[in-house]
Structure 1
Amino acid sequence: MFAAPFHCAAGSKAHTSPLLRATGLVGLCLIAATIMHPATLDAAEIDPSDWDAVLAEAKGQTVYFHAWGGGDRINAYIDWAGDQIKDRYGVTLQHVKVSDTANVVSQIVAEKAAGKDEGGSVDLVWINGENFASLKEKGLLLPMSWAPDLPNYRFADINGKPTLTTDFTVPTDGLESPWGMAQLSFYYDSAVTTDLPKSAAELLDWARAHPGRFAYPKPPDFLGSTFLKQIALELAPDPSVMAEPVTDESYGPVADKLFAYLDALHPHLWRKAQAFPDNVSSLKNLLADSEIEIAFTFNPGDASAAIANNELPDTVRSFTFDGGTIGNSHFVAIPFNANAKAGAMVLADFLLSPEAQARKQDPDIWGDPTVLDLASLGANDRALFDQLDLGIATLKPDELGPTLPEPHSSWMERLEADWTKRYGVQ
């Protein structure tokens, strides 16, 4: 993953490095943001159920959308969304590319500590899991249930997709708006590989038989961390304990199984686990370059999208574990001190629209599964989805197998920390 170069754009400081923060340039940026972007309506004055008023307030605003910037297709999709809301609503979208959402959380925490309760530098953030839990717990999100009042929220598949209202075991309470779905799936080149592991135990056996031909991204990259959770859930003596906040008592048996597994797996990984790919794109490139034979992704449409963009050969296919894989939803949220709250709501609503959701699910564009209930759509909107060719490497929903629930976010923080202590400095 990468971050865009630093610039002192008013209202934005996601580009800052630790060195720049230390030199005080951030303070100058925040002062400039306050002068150039005076505060808009307070949260209490914004009523998302009065959508005409929201649109009127949003017109002319610039929304600083802090979102992962490590995927070209995703970046292009966000650019497209920006063009649409500019033309339709007079709202400007500034994509602040980030490599780790935890840094955005730290940024919001720092602004709160500095007393910056208005005119914040983050208007909307792509978020889920531990980062959402942290902001919610600290009271750093817009203090109102705004998402259910968005006009397009009525199409969200709330009943069929429970992860839209429960984020890593934490109730969303309307504090974030759903954007997309995710479930771990594996892919391989069928011209090279035919024997496929169907469980964590079989993956270890496969790696032993194919040394150097498997890898996973280095935690705390989200995909690498998801791999840890997948293995932990499969091997845990009692997986149900992972749905609750982690304790010393519950952590020990799970961690013992996980790290014993990784100790056995690492000698057989790519470069013998002396190096790890950085992220999902790096992992995909290893398979494209024939350095590994099996890769994985948190988006079941990724492989087909990569084929469509000539990033992977058309012999690539997907598979999953028989016992199921981890799945969740991802969201967008508005911080408590966002400078462009109305504009952020307009962007969040557009991202929920059938038009935007269908384009997002198109493997030629992104391939990210929709959060909508297609049965609730009118004929024209439903046709946008029916005409999609999801691609030759995309598993059908009934082929993905069971969706394993995400553990409580506190588990990830501890597993990542212990992984880094054990393997991170090599």
Structure 2
Amino acid sequence: MKKTFAAASIATALLCTSLNSQAAWQDTLSEASGQTVYFNAWGGSDNINNYIMWAADRIKAEYNVTLKHVKLTDTADAVNRVLAEKAANKNDNGSVDLIWINGENFRSMKNNQLLHGPFSQGLPNFSQYVDENARQSLSQDFGTPVEGMESPWGMAQVVFMHDTETLESPPKSIANLLTYAKANPGRITYPEPPQFLGSTFLKQALYELTNNKEALSQPVDTVDFNKVTAPLWGYLDDLHSVAWRNGQRFPSGSEEMIRLLDDQEIDIAFSFDVSSATVQINEGNLPESVRTYVFDGGTIGNTHFLAIPYNSGVKAGAEVVANFFLSPEAQVEKQKPAVWGDLSVLSYDKLTAKDKAKFEALPKGIATLSIEELGKSLPEPHSSWVDALEKEWRSRYAK
């Protein structure tokens, strides 16, 4: 009898919690109706911009929330705007309502108390579809605990591209990349830090070259930076001497690398977008002979998030937008290779049979790797490493 009563009490408590959560979300939906959310997000890719436009139409139709895309060239610009508003005591109705963020920018906002939350666990689609234990990057953003202060939006992993007509067997490690560069001078390059993909190349190389990988998960000021990174600078000295333009000039980003690959000026390009090659082939920017691959030992991967500044005047609307982006509908659309190809953050096991079928029916794309083919995802170093690596790189190589 006691066990039956205890079980009934637990069931009743869970039901009450669920009903309270549903009621709270209904209040959020009511408050959000009619609001305009200024979404600050990188605007450097047409296909991503088009996806956000698609989402804006759906959000307006279903929730009467207007989503305005504020296109950024650098996420830090929006972070600095919120920081300036706090310094000026503008604690309400700030200019940024939602921000696409991760890494050092999230750490900066969290450390400066610039974030609204915790809020992500209160989103219905988060509690229904996301498993934070499935991947470390869902709960640790570049080493900074997420703690509900941002909502996952997508997952990315570094992939490399080559034209099979001119390069059949590409190098599949950082060491082999240098060997190839020495045998083929002028054919290898990478974007110039602090462009994020250039900084990612530094992290990828460091991860493979250093003898102290454990140090990378620690704050950079707690380790011997010079000792840990010495192999990286020696490697880059060698690479630059045989790189494209003799290491005197570097591409501005993935887009320029893709153009150089298409023009056959370089042999390898790379991207954080696993469907980048497929998208560029479909748009006529790369030949159909281009294919994607990853290094044998794995490549850097991470989760990107949506966060709400503490002084947004439309927090309810921002939460509704974040929740929509976690819906199976939005995640399926985003993962379509011709749309974006961004990997879903939803747990497959939590999906309904109908939603599983939608993901399974997604076209793979002519040059897009499956999740299995992507192989091992290497962890991002602690976010404090980014600034340290970029500063050291610029002191050594910037012209």
TM-score, structure 1 as length reference: 0.86
In the alignment, is residue 148 of structure 1 matched against residue 121 of structure 2?
yes
Residue in structure 2 matched with residue 21 of structure 1 by the alignment? none
Residues 123 and 335, structure 1, Cα contact 8 Å, conserved in 2: yes
TM-superposed CA distance for 1:289, in Å, is 1.9
Residue in structure 1 matched with residue 10 of structure 2 by the alignment? none
Please give the alpha-carbon distance, in whole angstroms, between the structure 2 residues aligned to 1:281 and 1:411: 25
Please give the alpha-carbon distance, in whole angstroms, between the structure 1 residues aligned to 2:369 and 2:213: 26
Please give the alpha-carbon distance, in whole angstroms, between the structure 2 residues aligned to 1:360 and 1:311: 21
TM-superposed CA distance for 1:241, in Å, is 0.5
Assess, with a 3 A threshold, how the Cα gap between structure 1 residues 177 and 237 changes in structure 2: closer, same or farther.
same
Residue in structure 1 matched with residue 326 of structure 2 by the alignment? 352
TM-superposed CA distance for 1:308, in Å, is 2.4
TM-superposed CA distance for 1:249, in Å, is 4.2
Please give the alpha-carbon distance, in whole angstroms, between the structure 2 residues aligned to 1:66 and 1:199: 35
TM-superposed CA distance for 1:188, in Å, is 0.5
In the alignment, is residue 59 of structure 1 matched against residue 33 of structure 2?
yes
* 1:8-38 Cα shifts (integer Å, max 9, x gaps): xxxxxxxxxxxxxxxxxxxxxxxxxxxxxxx
Q: How does 1:70-89 map to 2 (within 5 A)?
A: 70-89=44-63
TM-superposed CA distance for 1:380, in Å, is 2.1
Residue in structure 2 matched with residue 328 of structure 1 by the alignment? 302
Please provide the CA RMSD for this pair: 1.4
- Unaligned 5+ residue runs, structure 2? 1-20
Please give the alpha-carbon distance, in whole angstroms, between the structure 2 residues aligned to 1:333 and 1:49: 23
In the alignment, is residue 93 of structure 1 matched against residue 67 of structure 2?
yes
Residue in structure 2 matched with residue 166 of structure 1 by the alignment? 140
TM-superposed CA distance for 1:161, in Å, is 2.1
Residues 48 and 146, structure 1, Cα contact 8 Å, conserved in 2: no
User: Does the residue aligned with 1:159 lie in a helix, a strand or coil?
Assistant: helix
* 1:142-201 Cα shifts (integer Å, max 9, x gaps): 1x2210111111212323222111111111000000000011111101111023112111
In the alignment, is residue 420 of structure 1 matched against residue 384 of structure 2?
no
Please give the alpha-carbon distance, in whole angstroms, between the structure 1 residues aligned to 2:96 and 2:350: 33
Residue in structure 1 matched with residue 265 of structure 2 by the alignment? 291
In the alignment, is residue 306 of structure 1 matched against residue 280 of structure 2?
yes
* 1:253-298 Cα shifts (integer Å, max 9, x gaps): 1221111111111122221222211122121121122221111111
- The more displaced of 377-386 and 341-350 is 377-386
TM-score, structure 2 as length reference: 0.92
In the alignment, is residue 263 of structure 1 matched against residue 243 of structure 2?
no
* 1:118-163 Cα shifts (integer Å, max 9, x gaps): 1100000000001001111111101x22101111112123232221
Residue in structure 2 matched with residue 32 of structure 1 by the alignment? none
Residue in structure 2 matched with residue 246 of structure 1 by the alignment? 220
User: Does the residue aligned with 1:125 lie in a helix, a strand or coil?
Assistant: strand
User: Does the residue aligned with 1:391 lie in a helix, a strand or coil?
Assistant: coil
Assess, with a 3 A threshold, how the Cα gap between structure 1 residues 100 and 85 changes in structure 2: closer, same or farther.
same
In the alignment, is residue 225 of structure 1 matched against residue 199 of structure 2?
yes
User: Does the residue aligned with 1:181 lie in a helix, a strand or coil?
Assistant: strand
- Unaligned 5+ residue runs, structure 1? 1-46
Residue in structure 1 matched with residue 5 of structure 2 by the alignment? none
Residues 337 and 368, structure 2, Cα contact 8 Å, conserved in 1: no
TM-superposed CA distance for 1:78, in Å, is 0.6
- The more displaced of 325-334 and 272-281 is 272-281
User: Does the residue aligned with 1:102 lie in a helix, a strand or coil?
Assistant: helix
* 1:85-105 Cα shifts (integer Å, max 9, x gaps): 111111111111111111111
TM-superposed CA distance for 1:49, in Å, is 7.0
User: Does the residue aligned with 2:151 lie in a helix, a strand or coil?
Assistant: strand
